[in-house]
């Protein structure tokens, strides 16, 4: 009797331990730095030691932030949710310090760890009505990982839509039903894939209507986010200002980043996008701090003076660790086979149609950037050293990996290469009062790195490249040409090695002012031969429709983000034919809705789609942003 009982308890304990491991958020963001993860054995032992403490009753728990999915493979996809007794994260402000091991996340000395885990079941279905279960499992979550839960659904079919749902164990409390989609197999003949591409969603600036418009249209297969998913700065007082955020300060600690991510995830359109599409995200700078690079940010660097005066005595490295840990907990992305704890760069083979190469051009071993938020602090210095061979935008390891990815993609004859780069690649000078200036925070500030990339593409005859970017809060469309080194005809596009589509922001401010004043700023870039269109008034996104013979980019603008609404204005459409490696002429069919076009005309129509009703109407709004 005693032996049977003991064996039963051991079996139960072993099963519980395995269910902890099923939650990927206990793991480190880096497979080579496991100490950045949570000690599952310790969490399990804590639960056993405190089994006399009251457990959460299912009625005390909620799925607080919906569901999400991401990083699709041909046979699996990541599923995410958060189940907790409260919307709030743990209130501790204490950072890991003193004699604690590097990257330790033994959090119990610093927070009031939950006495018991929360048990969650998940099921994946091949039909919307949830008749046929194709995968299921059980996992646990605790306050150690902010009650987040991330599992890998496996055994799935390529390029197939699935539905999924979480349920609190032994209860009828369920999450919303999510929808996701696997990737095609690497060698599968794939006729078309549609992507929505976003960047720069600033909660206080306005509503995330761009996310919701794609949900309402149901117009894509996957969502790409190129960074600035959150912003780290304080803005307003919650309850008195319409889009103020928590915490009500600049964020530095693990609690801060968890809370800010959770607050953003209350936006209804962002919730809907995560619920309906598999995401492939990467960070830019604001997921950690503005103008980030290897050794600091605009308002915090690795000096004693900055440590003491810029924030709550949190170092650059500690701040990065806090932000990365929270991002890994809250985003539906996989562990990468990392060289260190900051690696997020990774790639996806999407059938024989394209390879998606997601770079980190912001934090991974990046040389110092233009810290332009500090007036005249180092802009001239960066201009002077921009051509130095030792300057790197992505670090030597990532650069080598990037070149190998390009070569391998070309060798396997993928039709297209989609390259996700947070910052803009094209060299675009702005002329003001006879003086031309460049964006030293983009590839332009790292000319040697940029030239090495161009040389690799041209020397190896790797064409059909589509670079995508965000960061600037402005729409840019350019041929990718090595001007000054290789012949290029801007009238025909001959000599180009690819095309860059860079997108505006979901809600962050752009050129500002009126449409007229924004178009004057857009025209100040007219002297750039490779630039074909730019526009900085509208907020929004673009879609990439990839086919075997062509890529079509469709740009959409939100006429206002001052209110939550479903209006959407088509701005411009562009085509790239396979084998051309340049934009098809006439550019955008010869006309665009707004901005500046190099060869064509601007025709303002204000003909706007209501994505909720499907009706078209001429509309206009006086206010773009939340006041």
Map out the domains of the chain with their CATH numbers: 2-181 (2.60.40.380), 196-229+344-618 (3.60.21.70)
Which pLDDT value is given to residue 114?
Answer: 64
**Which is nearest to 443 in space by CA: 410, 406, 400, 472?**
472
Which pLDDT value is given to residue 1?
Answer: 45
Report the distance separating Cα 180 and Cα 528, nearest Å: 41
Strands 296-297 and 539-547: unpaired
Using CB atoms within 10 Å of the CB of residue 547, give its burial: 0 to 12 exposed, 13 to 18 middle, 19+ buried.
middle
Phi and psi angles of residue 13, each rounded to the nearest 5 degrees, phi first = -65, -45
What sign does the CA torsion over 98, 99, 101, 105 have? negative
Which pLDDT value is given to residue 537?
Answer: 98
Which pLDDT value is given to residue 42?
Answer: 65
Token look-up 């900085």 returns 536
Q: What is the DSSP string of 317-359?
A: HHHHHHHHHHHHHHS----B--SSTT---EEEEETTTEEEEE-
Token look-up 């924030």 returns 311
Q: Which two tokens stand for residue 334?
A: 């996989």
Which pLDDT value is given to residue 300?
Answer: 86
Which pLDDT value is given to residue 182?
Answer: 99
Model-level pTM?
Answer: 0.92
Which pLDDT value is given to residue 97?
Answer: 47
- For the chain (length 627 residues), average pLDDT per consecutive 10? 39 55 73 62 58 74 98 99 91 50 50 75 97 97 93 98 98 98 98 99 98 99 99 90 94 95 98 99 96 90 80 89 93 76 90 98 93 76 93 95 98 99 95 90 95 98 99 98 96 98 98 94 96 98 99 99 98 99 98 97 98 97 91
What number of CA atoms fall less than 13 Å from residue 439's CA on the CB side? 14
Report the distance separating Cα 470 and Cα 521, nearest Å: 18
Containing 9, the helix (H) or strand (E) segment is helix 2-22
Q: What is the DSSP letter of 462?
A: -
Q: DSSP 3-state assignment of 517?
A: helix
């Amino acid at each position: 009797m005693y032996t049977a009982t003991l064996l039963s308890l051991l079996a139960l304990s072993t099963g519980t331990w395995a269910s902890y491991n099923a939650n990927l958020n206990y793991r480190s963001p880096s497979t080579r730095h496991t100490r950045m993860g949570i000690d599952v054995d310790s969490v399990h032992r804590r639960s056993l030691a405190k089994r006399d403490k009251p457990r959460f009753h299912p009625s005390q728990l909620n799925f607080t932030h919906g569901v999400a999915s991401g990083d699709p493979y041909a046979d699996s996809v990541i599923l995410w949710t958060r189940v907790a007794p409260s919307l709030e994260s743990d209130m501790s402000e204490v950072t890991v310090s003193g004699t604690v091991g590097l990257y330790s996340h033994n959090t119990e000395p610093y927070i009031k760890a939950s006495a018991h885990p929360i048990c969650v079941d998940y099921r994946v279905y091949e039909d919307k009505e949830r008749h046929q279960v194709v995968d299921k499992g059980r996992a646990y979550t605790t306050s150690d990982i902010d009650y987040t839960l991330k599992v890998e659904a496996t055994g799935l079919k390529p390029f197939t839509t699935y539905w999924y749902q979480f349920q609190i164990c032994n209860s009828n409390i369920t999450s919303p039903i999510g929808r996701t989609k696997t990737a095609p197999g690497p060698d599968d003949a794939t006729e078309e894939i549609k992507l929505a591409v976003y960047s720069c969603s600033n909660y206080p600036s306005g509503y995330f209507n761009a996310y919701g418009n794609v949900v309402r249209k149901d117009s894509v297969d996957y969502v790409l986010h190129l960074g600035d998913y959150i912003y780290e700065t304080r803005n307003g007082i919650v309850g008195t200002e319409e889009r103020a955020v928590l915490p009500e300060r600049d964020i530095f600690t693990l609690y801060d980043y968890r809370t800010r991510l959770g607050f953003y995830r209350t936006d209804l359109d962002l919730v809907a996008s995560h619920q309906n599409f598999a995401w492939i995200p990467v960070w830019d700078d604001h997921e950690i701090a503005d103008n980030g690079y290897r050794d600091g940010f605009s308002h915090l660097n690795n000096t004693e003076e900055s440590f003491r005066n810029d924030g709550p005595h949190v170092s650059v490295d500690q701040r990065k660790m806090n932000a990365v840990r929270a991002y890994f907990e809250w985003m539906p992305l996989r562990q990468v086979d990392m060289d260190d704890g900051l690696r997020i760069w990774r790639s996806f083979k999407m059938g024989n149609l394209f390879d998606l190469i997601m770079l980190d051009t912001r934090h991974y071993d990046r040389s110092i950037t233009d810290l332009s938020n500090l007036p005249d602090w180092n802009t001239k210095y960066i201009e002077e050293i921009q051509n130095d061979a030792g300057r790197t935008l992505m670090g030597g390891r990532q650069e080598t990996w990037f070149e190998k990815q390009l070569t391998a993609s070309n060798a396997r004859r993928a039709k297209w290469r989609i390259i996700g780069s947070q910052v803009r690649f094209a060299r675009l000078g702005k002329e003001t009062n006879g003086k031309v200036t460049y964006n030293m925070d983009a590839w332009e500030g790292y000319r040697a790195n940029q030239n090495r990339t161009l040389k690799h593409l041209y020397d190896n005859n790797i064409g059909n490249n589509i670079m995508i970017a965000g960061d600037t809060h402005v729409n840019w469309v350019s041929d990718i040409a090595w001007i000054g080194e290789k012949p290029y005809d801007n009238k025909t596009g001959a000599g180009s090695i690819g095309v860059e589509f860079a997108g505006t922001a979901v809600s962050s401010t752009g050129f500002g002012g009126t449409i007229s004043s924004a178009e004057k700023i857009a025209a100040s870039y007219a002297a750039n031969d490779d630039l074909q269109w730019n526009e900085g008034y509208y907020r929004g996104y673009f879609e990439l429709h990839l086919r075997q013979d062509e890529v079509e980019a469709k740009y959409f603008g939100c006429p206002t983000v001052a209110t939550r609404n479903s209006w959407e204005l088509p701005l411009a459409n562009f085509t790239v034919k396979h084998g051309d490696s340049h934009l098809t002429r006439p550019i955008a069919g010869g006309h665009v809705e707004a901005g500046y076009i190099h060869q064509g005309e601007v025709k303002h129509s204000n003909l706007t789609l209501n994505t909720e009703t499907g009706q078209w109407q001429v509309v206009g709004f006086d206010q773009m942003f939340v006041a």
